[in-house]
């Protein structure tokens, strides 16, 4: 029988929600304790940095590789745009390439967490936690000056969910919805996008609030960015102000159910970065398609950047406008339930398939950043050439 975990006393979760698979793969590390233990015991090339503290008082940890930018600019990011050269904000080593990956901004979306822990394994050893080598990913990472990985941003939301892994339930997504976006006190799903209607969410109105909000009830993917920000949001804003990254991947779980494969969103960002996003999308989805991680192997179908609609104002917009990075959401499929291909046939994304797609994604994004040279080359300033 599947094992059951004891729920937090404050949230009487039904027993059927608490089932876990009989066997959890050794590469599947996704809880706050598992991730922190991995960071504490397995990093040799990288270093661990506490970048902030959650609303619930939990540490938010990052793994850092390479050398940070040295020196500072002479103006704000906004000022650098008005001047006509982002080097004035980014500083004397603006040509350095800096890459950031974020997991679990929504605490119930664990696929990205697992993939980022395995990314750290590749950065440390050249192989993921299955022992599978990733030479192209290792080579791409070596071409970058700085890599920062935050496996779990919403540590409150992840700690609230008492499961390491969800059991597979065919096309039944009830457990995913229950744990991710939560349920009202009458047991009905809060659901998406209704979960965005109530920020902060009053936990007293819920049977279980899900992993979207932090302990203050805020889904900070849609924080009050220009007002009373959450500590997790402030930690990310402070991080990107220090590091001034070129590219940020914000990993979520929400692949389109009728094309159930990993998919990048088009962010609401500076118009000047639109050509860069479209080139990134083409490169990443071409690489995913050729690796068998899309519905077809045809890049003409899978890598068309006109497919994703423009996102709304959210955390990625705020990160872009704070430091100039191209920040974009990438949606994973869930390991807990199936979706369909475009032709309507059912497709299950196994944990192994999800891990492969996640590492191919990182490989392609890092290759793109290394090949294109980052923000300073994407939007060259006064007196500079592409």
In a domain, 83, yes or no: no
pLDDT tens digits along 67-97: 999 999 999 999 999 999 999 999 999 999 9
Is 13 a member of any domain?
A: no
Cis before 200? omega within 30: yes
Model confidence at 126, in pLDDT bands (50, 70, 90)?
A: very high
- Residue-wise pLDDT for 190-231, tens only, equals 999 999 999 999 999 999 999 999 999 999 999 999 999 999
3-state SS assignment for residue 246:
coil
Identify the CATH number of the domain in which residue 47 sits.
3.40.630.10
Q: How many domains does the chain have?
A: 1
How far is residue 361's CA from residue 328's CA, in Å, rounded to a whole number? Answer: 13
**Gap between the Cα atoms of 117 and 32, Å rounded:** 11
**Residue 178 vs residues 161, 166, 172, 359: alpha-carbon distances, Å:** 10, 12, 11, 28
pTM of the model: 0.95
Residue 9 lies in a domain: no
Q: Is residue 233 part of a domain?
A: yes
Each residue of 348-381: pLDDT tens digit?
Answer: 999 999 999 999 999 999 999 999 999 999 999 8
- Six-digit token pair at 268? 């609401």
Pair 364, 289: CB distance under 8 Å: no
The DSSP string of 101-134 is EEE-SSTT--HHHHHHHHHHHHHHHSB-TTS-B-
Domain presence at residue 359 = yes
Contacts (Cβ under 8 Å, ≥6 apart) of 335: 111, 165, 166, 168, 349, 350, 351, 354
Is residue 73 one of the residues assigned to a domain? no
Inform me whether the pLDDT recorded for 3 exceeds 80: no
Residues 358/115, Cβ–Cβ less than 8 Å = yes
Residue 218 falls inside a structural domain = yes
CB 320 within 8 A of CB 326: yes
- Its domain, for residue 143, covers 34-66+97-378
Domain assignment present for 18 = no
């Amino acid at each position: 029988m599947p094992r059951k975990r004891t729920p937090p006393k404050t949230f009487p979760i039904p027993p059927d929600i608490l089932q876990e698979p009989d066997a959890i793969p050794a590469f599947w590390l996704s809880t706050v304790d598992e991730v922190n233990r991995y960071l504490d015991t397995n990093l040799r090339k990288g270093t661990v940095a506490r970048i902030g503290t959650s609303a619930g008082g939990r540490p938010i940890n990052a793994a850092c590789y390479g050398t940070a930018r040295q020196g500072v600019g002479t103006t704000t990011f906004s000022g650098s745009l008005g001047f006509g050269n982002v080097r004035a904000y980014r500083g004397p080593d603006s040509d350095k390439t800096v890459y950031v990956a974020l997991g679990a901004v929504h605490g119930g979306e664990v696929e990205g967490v697992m993939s980022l822990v395995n990314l750290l394994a590749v950065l440390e050893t050249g192989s993921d936690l299955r022992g599978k080598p990733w030479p192209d990913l290792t080579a791409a990472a070596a071409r970058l000056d700085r890599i920062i990985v935050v496996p779990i941003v919403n540590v409150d939301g992840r700690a609230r969910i008492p499961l390491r892994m969800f059991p597979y339930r065919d096309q039944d997504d009830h457990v995913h919805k229950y744990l991710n976006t939560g349920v009202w006190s009458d047991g009905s799903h809060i659901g998406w996008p209704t979960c965005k209607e109530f920020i902060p969410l009053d936990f007293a109105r819920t049977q279980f609030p899900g992993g979207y909000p932090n302990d203050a009830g805020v889904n900070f993917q849609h924080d009050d960015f220009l007002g009373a920000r959450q500590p997790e949001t402030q930690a990310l804003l402070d991080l990107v102000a220090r590091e001034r990254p070129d590219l940020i991947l914000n990993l979520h779980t929400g692949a389109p159910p009728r094309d159930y494969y990993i998919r990048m969103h088009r962010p609401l960002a500076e118009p000047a970065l639109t050509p860069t996003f479209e080139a990134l999308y083409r490169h990443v989805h071409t690489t995913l398609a050729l690796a068998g991680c899309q519905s077809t192997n045809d890049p003409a179908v899978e890598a068309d950047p006109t497919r994703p609609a423009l996102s709304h104002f959210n955390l990625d917009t705020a990160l872009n406008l704070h430091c100039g990075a191209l920040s974009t959401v990438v949606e994973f499929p869930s390991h807990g339930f199936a979706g369909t291909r475009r032709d309507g046939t059912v497709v299950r994304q196994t944990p192994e398939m999800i891990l492969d797609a996640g590492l191919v994604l990182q490989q392609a994004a890092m290759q793109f950043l290394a090949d294109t040279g980052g923000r300073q080359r994407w939007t060259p300033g006064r007196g500079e050439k592409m």
